[in-house]
Amino acid sequence: MIFDPIYIFVVLIPTLAITGWAMWRVKSTYGKWSKVDSGINLDAFDFARRLLDRQGLQQVRIEPTPGQLTDHYDPRGKILRVSTQVADASALETAGLTSATPRLSVAAAAVIAHEVGHALQDASGDQAMKLRTAIVPAAQFGSGIAPWLIIAGFFLRFEALAIVGLIGFAAAVLFTFATLPVEIGASGRALAFVNGLGLSGERMTGARDVLKAAAWTYVAGALTALLTFLYYVWLIFGRRD
């Protein structure tokens, strides 16, 4: 399949282009605003705690997690995890903004506020988040095993097997699109949070840019999943003898 010209030019190259552009935008935008002081005199964990407590989410725990921009909210354990990159103040240090008082970058404030937005969605019973959570088991099957069923069904000329795989992969595609309103909703809440803490002007613009850049990674994921799904449809139904 990897040597199929249709796959290369319709799926592989567009996927690499879309995801590469989205990743570049996230890194460049985060890098820019990670060097700008938000004016919030708290470290990442204290800031997350303050936002959670303001929303009545005292039950949500905060934990560090290794990696770069691996921040996430775990609805099962009610845990907000802050990545090493976001918690680290070194970005502000390189910009000459060190002081005895903790300083939070605009980028870090936006990322943390976004995850608090997810915690609030969970607590309020957000319908979009419920839908995404319900799809998770099928999506895991669809992204892990389904492609192999499709390929096996195609090469073995066992169409029923390929169709089962296609249905499974459709669940994975649905998950990527169900993720979009969840992420957009969390970003909207995040902007309201940071605005309430006094972020305005250029800093507010920076927070919005960081959240928009992150949103594009989910859009890219949805588009690439859809392209792959359409290729699989063509592979199964478009190449019949």
Angle, vertex CA 212, rays to CA 208 and CA 218, nearest 5? 150
Dist. CA 93–CA 97, nearest whole Å: 5
Q: 37 forms bridges with which residues in the sheet? A: 105
Dist. CA 172–CA 138, nearest whole Å: 7
Q: Which of 115, 159, 183, 202 is catalytic?
A: 115
DSSP structure class, residue 41: -
Q: Which of 84, 79, 44 is nearest to 61 (CA)?
A: 79
Q: Where are the alpha helices (DSSP H) in 57-197?
A: 84-87, 90-94, 106-124, 127-144, 146-155, 159-196
Dist. CA 108–CA 93, nearest whole Å: 14
Please give the C-alpha separations between residue 97 and each of 37, 54, 93, 107, in angstroms, as whole numbers.
Answer: 7, 28, 5, 15
Instruction: Say whether 159 is catalytic.
Output: no
Catalytic residues: 115
